[in-house]
């Protein structure tokens, strides 16, 4: 039986990579999906077609989530298309590497906006619906990089902020039946990590007890779990989907 039957999800940055696999996994379990995309309409429509060809329901929604009005419009698209909203997955991510001393102002602002501010705007918009129905699931994609990674001060700050935001919101809305959790993927062969060289991959494998890179489907399965009824007593948590790398 589909675990998310008749539910509706918004997945941000879902036109490719990790986001597309999350969207497909949620749809496979019965959820209708808003496939958000910031730029590439063709890629988003391809995800929608994949879901529909498998018998699911989906529609694409464009928006710059760093703008509060556009974020609210993407969240509202769930109600317009499918009549409700049950699940929000904040999946947006961007990096602009460089040491802090030489980091450009625009690189700092862009990464904070994409990784943290956009999540805040989407959460704020979704909570209006969740508080009304006294139920909802918010799942934020964080990172194991928050203890500190050289050359990624902006990214690390943003993802650490995601974890802090997750816990603050979880505490604020727990009494209303809303859960808020984060997933910290390790080195997953999708999205930004897919661009690693063979040398980098070998180096990182030495830090992963399970001895392999993760897959987008590993992370998507964790999202489905946190979105479902079996995770109803989990909130304010960070689930490390990293092959045990956190133990290194």
Residue in 11, 16, 9, 21 with CA at minimum distance from that of residue 215: 21
- CB count within 10 Å of CB 29 equals 19
CB 196 within 8 A of CB 127: no
Quick check: 26 and 50 in contact, CB under 8 A?
no
Q: Take residue 46 and report the two structure tokens written for it.
A: 């391809």
Q: Is 233 a catalytic residue?
A: no
* Cα angle value 82/132/134 (rounded, 5°): 100
H/E segment holding residue 185: strand 178-185
With contact defined as beta carbons under 8 Å apart, do 36 and 42 qualify?
A: no
Distance CA 65, CA 121 (A): 7
The active-site residue, picked from 37, 155, 204, 233, is 155
Please state, in angstroms and rounded to a whole number, the distance separating the CA atoms of residues 184 and 146.
Answer: 10
Are residues 187 and 246 in contact, defined by beta-carbon separation less than 8 angstroms?
Answer: no
Catalytic residues: 155
């Amino acid at each position: 039986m589909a675990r998310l039957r008749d539910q509706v999800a918004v997945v941000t940055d879902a036109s490719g990579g990790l986001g597309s696999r999350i969207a497909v996994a949620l749809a496979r379990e019965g959820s209708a999906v808003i496939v958000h995309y910031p730029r590439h309409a063709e890629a988003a429509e391809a995800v929608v077609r994949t879901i529909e060809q498998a018998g699911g329901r989906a529609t694409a929604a464009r928006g710059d989530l760093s703008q509060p009005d556009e974020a609210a419009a993407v969240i509202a698209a769930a109600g317009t298309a499918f009549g409700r909203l049950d699940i929000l997955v904040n999946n947006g991510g961007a990096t602009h590497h460089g040491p802090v001393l030489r980091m450009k102002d625009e690189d700092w602002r862009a990464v904070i906006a994409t990784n943290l501010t956009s999540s805040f705007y989407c959460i704020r918009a979704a909570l209006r619906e969740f508080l009304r129905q006294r139920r909802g699931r918010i799942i934020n994609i964080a990172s194991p990089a928050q203890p500190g990674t050289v050359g990624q001060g902006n990214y690390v700050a943003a993802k650490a902020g995601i974890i802090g935001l997750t816990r603050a919101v979880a505490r604020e809305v727990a009494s209303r039946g809303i859960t808020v959790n984060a997933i910290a993927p390790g080195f997953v062969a999708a999205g930004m990590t897919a661009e690693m060289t063979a040398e980098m991959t070998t180096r990182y494998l030495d830090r992963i007890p399970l001895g392999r890179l993760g897959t987008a489907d590993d992370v998507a399965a964790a999202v489905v779990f946190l979105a479902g009824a079996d995770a109803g007593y989990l909130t304010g948590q960070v689930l490390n989907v990293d092959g045990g790398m956190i133990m290194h």
